[in-house]
Amino acid sequence: MLLIVSGASGVGKSTLCRQLLDEQAELDLSVSTTTRPPRGREKNGEHYHFVDVPTFERMRDEDAFAEWAEVHGNYYGTSRAVIDEAIAAGRSVLFDIDYQGAEQLLEAYPDAVAVMVLPPDMETLERRLRGRGTDAEAVIERRLAKARDEMRHAPSFQHLIVNDDLDTAMATLRGIYLAGRSRTAAVWPDAKYRLGL
């Protein structure tokens, strides 16, 4: 199963994704390929697959990515081979990705389950962004404007989670994931084999 989780900066999407990954042993986080340099303690192959621009462009031109985008002057993409290997091994894959990548992934993998995490309101989102204490005023304003644009794409997603309470939002995400894993397309091949049908 492919689970796509999207949402604006500050809605709590990464926190929800981390918690789901911690509790679901068969769920792997998709590791993107990027041309940006590593930050801090980021490790190649664990946080991202770091490549140079010519390598990324060659991979893109060879249709190696299920989705890709240029963000702030750097390329980011999700390898089709990595997704297909995980599916073949019976693993589920979680994508913590922006709405543009989510829409491309849904086009490439129509059986994927897509979730957008929303803030309860814009005032709460602004308070969360300011509460981080890491961004300049201009960055916060850009993030708020981008959030408004991203949330306009909510109708493209099968599920919406309003993160007003983290425990409730987590229970909802967990339920969506478990329901997705129980879909006939996900379960029937193995069940058919085990039942001798």
User: Residue 46, SS3?
Assistant: coil
Give the Cα separation of 72 and 90 in Å (integer): 35
Which domain does 148 fall in, by range?
2-182
Q: Within a domain: residue 64?
A: yes
Both tokens of residue 6? 């999207």
Domain count, the chain: 1
pLDDT in tens, 62-117: 999 999 988 878 999 999 998 998 888 888 999 999 899 999 999 999 999 999 99
Q: Within a domain: residue 71?
A: yes
Give the Cα separation of 160 and 113 in Å (integer): 11
Q: What per-residue confidence (pLDDT) applies to 17?
A: 96
Give the Cα separation of 2 and 113 in Å (integer): 6
Model confidence at 133: pLDDT above 90: no
Instruction: Please give the average per-residue pLDDT across 115-133, as a whole number.
Output: 92
Q: Within a domain: residue 187?
A: no
Residues 6+ apart with CB under 8 A from 108: 66, 67, 80
DSSP label at 126?
H
Q: Within a domain: residue 57?
A: yes
Cα 142 versus chain centre, distance: 21
Measured N-to-C along each axis, helices 122-132 and 137-151 cross at an angle, to the nearest 10 degrees, of 140
Q: Within a domain: residue 193?
A: no
Model confidence at 184: pLDDT above 80: no
* pLDDT grade for 172, boundaries at 50, 70 and 90: very high
Q: What per-residue confidence (pLDDT) applies to 73?
A: 86
Q: Within a domain: residue 22?
A: yes
Q: Within a domain: residue 192?
A: no
pTM: 0.86
Model confidence at 174: pLDDT above 80: yes
Burial class (CB in 10 A: 0-12, 13-18, 19+), 46: exposed
- What is the CATH number for 43? 3.40.50.300
Give the Cα separation of 76 and 33 in Å (integer): 6
Q: Within a domain: residue 25?
A: yes
